[in-house]
A and B are shown apart, each in its own frame.
Chain A
Amino acid sequence: MKREFLSGNRAVAEAALLSGLRFYAGYPITPASDLMEYLAERLPKVGGIAVQFEDEIASINAAIGASWTGAKAMTATSGPGFSLMAEGISLAVATETPLVVVDIMRAGPSTGIPTKTTQSDVYQARWLAHGDYILPVFAPWSAQDSYDLTIKAFNMSEKLRTPVILLSDAVIAHMWETLYVKEPGEVEIVSRKKPVEPPEEYKPYKPGEDLVPPMAVFGEGYKVIVESLVHDEAGYYRQDTRTYREMVARLREKIMRNIGVVYEHEEYWVEDARVILVSYGSTARMAYPVAKSLLSRGLRVGLLRLKTLWPLDEGKLSSALSKADKIIVVENNTGRIYYDIARIAGRDRARFSPILTVDPPGFNEVLEAVSKWL
């Protein structure tokens, strides 16, 4: 372990390299471009490759193709490019392709304000693509967290054979901070499970006990089938309800069964709190000093900082929030996580403090937004 001084985006890149990233495909977009620029320099030195494709659609599809050769693959973008990746994400879900997609949120809708932050892609991260699916979404609040959650994103994508979204934002991505980076061997790096049976007996989508199919890749003699259509265990297209149900239910269940490791939040002074602030990403960075300040004034205020945005561990959240009189959701949008918290904690206790700003939210701004509910 050693101390480094890195931006959030560079922390993501370094963590991706430690996780075994060997293929990066991307298209320039603010505020994600510097992540690719950094990897374009670093990846060839470790035998990997970074390619700038003609658009984000090509980028995500190339990353999926690369993953099917066994390479750990990633792409990064921001709102408009993320929208273009929608169909690719659904392909990765259906084909159970390990892949990390980084969305550095900026202001939207449309081209919005490229250089400024918001937290407006929270639902896009969850449900960007068509079809019935879930996938893990992690939201870092610092360079250190960008580093740690990127390692987690790779590990979860490999363990569960799923695309994983790292949902950063322009403030976190471009903020330079001190962090601890790991040496190889200091942190567990997960790689996808390989089949043990010979090619003649292998079925590409036949799950193990953990509901995740072992993954043979191209060039190993397994005659792998990557199938975008609804498919059975052999990878054969089927148009019947039974196959559809089995596939869709398993794709969901393989993640939900691991909710204990997928889902994470951090608690600050929550134990005795009468009021709990729920926040994440760059907004949580200011919710933290606000909670601390209110606490020092004798108010029993705590902070619950979400690290995993989707799927939420409703049981764990519900019990963490159970003792508080009020739960105030602080997020930089017109209401995303709030609706889930209101459902989980109950509408009578849930309050919403939207921070609609394109600049890093200020202390007084957050304090004022929260104070109206105190």
Chain B
Amino acid sequence: MAVAKKVIHPLDKYLRSDRLPHIWCPGCGIGIALAAMLRGIDRRIREGKLDRNKLVFVTGIGCSARVSFYVDFDSAHTLHGRAIPFAAGVKLANPSLEVIVVGGDGDIAGIGGNHLLHAARRNMDLFVVMITNFVYAMTGGQLAPTTPLRVYTTTTPYGNPEPPLNVIKLVASLNANYVARASVTTPHYIESFTYKALGMKGFRFLEVVSTCPEVYGRHIGLRNPVAMLEELKKRVIYKAHPVVDESDIDWDKGIVIGEYVVRNNPSYLDLIKRG
């Protein structure tokens, strides 16, 4: 007779499983993004290139920021928009730590936008993952800096009058060593870009285009999680060598993912001769 055996997920070792279930809605892409990131991290750890006791997750506030609840590493759930400066303080005070920032588009590029641009300009030794869902989801569906033009949100009931921010273009225009975009429909790229970023120095930025059927999906008529994922999948175009000029997120023309910038400029720690 077969004995019931407790099934352990291979990534369980990196999660605070006593804190599960997580808060993310059915169909939310954050869990896919996190799992893919953890696989990239796992590869680095198994190769002996990364010590799990030297890895720090720093997050701000929002759905994506809740990642720090669940990862079984040193972690900080800080203030809305302030994960990047907090993380910079961590890295500069102890350069032996690998510091990963995870946040939503509102957290990283909205309220935290000034910190993002200056960290990229300095080529600060941080890996920043921005999970874009085009809306403020945790607070109930308000306008984000990435919300497309004309889309309904709860604070733009007549449609968003503002052109959205292309964060890839912003960060690429600065001094970041790595700028990439993946999608929750292509988790293997989230994994491989994470893996690659963790082998580099300086400012590394990964945007993950995500699904939020519960809030953003409701706004754009894609309330069904499967439908939203399918629709996103149709629009994602992978390019081995995408150029920044094609990085605008356009639901009609498609969303180009790939590695936009890979360079080896001196990082902030190199520049100040520390670490």
A-to-B contact residues, CB < 8 Å: 22-23, 25, 49, 51, 53-55, 57-59, 61-71, 73, 87-88, 91, 218-229, 236-237
Contacts and interface: CB of A to CB of B under 8 A. Distances in A.
A25 B89 contact: yes
Contact of B92 (A59, A62, A227, A236): A62
A88 to B, nearest CB: 7
B23 to A, nearest CB: 10
A293 B82 CA distance: 53
Contacts of B97: 69, 218-219
A226 B92 contact: no
Given A53-B118, A218-B56, A23 B79 contact: no
B187 to A, nearest CB: 25
Contact of B115 (A54, A91, A218, A225): A54
Contact of A61 (B19, B77, B82, B96): B82
A64 B79 CA distance: 11
B79 A66 contact: no
Interface in B47-94: 53-54, 56, 58, 61, 68-69, 72-79, 82, 84-90, 92-94
B78 A62 contact: no
B79 A62 contact: no
B272 interface: yes
B114 interface: yes
Contacts, number: 118
Contacts of B54: 219
A59 to B, nearest CB: 8
Contacts of A223: 72-75
B85 A71 contact: no
B76 A68 contact: yes
B85 A227 contact: no
A73 B86 CA distance: 12
Given A68-B76, A223-B73, A223-B74, A62 B88 contact: yes
A9 to B, nearest CB: 22
A338 B117 CA distance: 45
A26 to B, nearest CB: 12
Given A23-B89, A51-B92, A237-B69, A219 B74 contact: yes
Given A69-B90, A218-B90, A219-B97, A91 B74 contact: no
Contacts of B19: 236
Contact of B85 (A58, A70, A224): A58
Contacts of A73: 89, 93
A218 B87 CA distance: 11
